[in-house]
Amino acid sequence: MIDPRDQKILDFIKKSGASSSKEVHDNLNLSVSYATMKRILSKLATEKLLTSIGRGKATKYIISPVYMLVEPLSVEEYYEKEIDTRDIMETFNFSVIDEILAEHSVFTESELENLNQLQLKFQKNISQLTDEEYKKEFERLAIDLSWKSSQIEGNLYKSI
């Protein structure tokens, strides 16, 4: 979860484009020192929410492609907008998979560790199943996923 101060910084850079730490500090009035602002920007770059371009005083920050994947969105705000003013993509952005996810993880180290622990637990649990139980569980999972996917898409199953 991105804290509100960091979100203001990200929103500013997203709106204004490549920005130096001084530009961010001078335009946001966040009541933090310039040194603190530089530390925040560095932290956001380390978390792969921002990308830094250049060196030293010429360093500018832009929104990272990873941030586009994890950016918090408000469904309520989205639907409050008139349909003509909503930011709607015409097609799926395949570069998300081919380029961004191929080079960047959207998970933190602790999240990856948690996923690995869950994977080990899963493997331990399924190793105790017979082949027949294993097949039935995966069949049930496939049915559940199909059902939920259809609900998300708005499809309704009707009895004939």
- pLDDT tens, position by position, 149-158: 887 777 666 6
Regarding whether 98 and 117 lie in a shared domain, the answer is no
The Cα 62–Cα 79 span in angstroms is 27
Q: What is the tens place of the pLDDT at every residue in 127-150? A: 999 999 999 999 999 999 988 888
Range of the domain at 30: 1-103
> Three-state SS for 53?
strand
Q: Report helix angle 21-28 to 4-16, nearest 10.
A: 110
What mean pLDDT value characterizes the chain?
87
The predicted model scores a pTM of 0.61
Domain end marker among 59, 88, 103: 103
- Report the number of distinct structural domains present in the chain: 2
Regarding whether 92 and 33 lie in a shared domain, the answer is yes
Regarding whether 56 and 85 lie in a shared domain, the answer is yes
Regarding whether 81 and 49 lie in a shared domain, the answer is yes
Give me the residue label for tokens 């009707």: 158
* Angle, alpha carbons 89-47-109 (nearest 5°): 105
Phi, psi (5° rounding) for residue 51? -120, 135
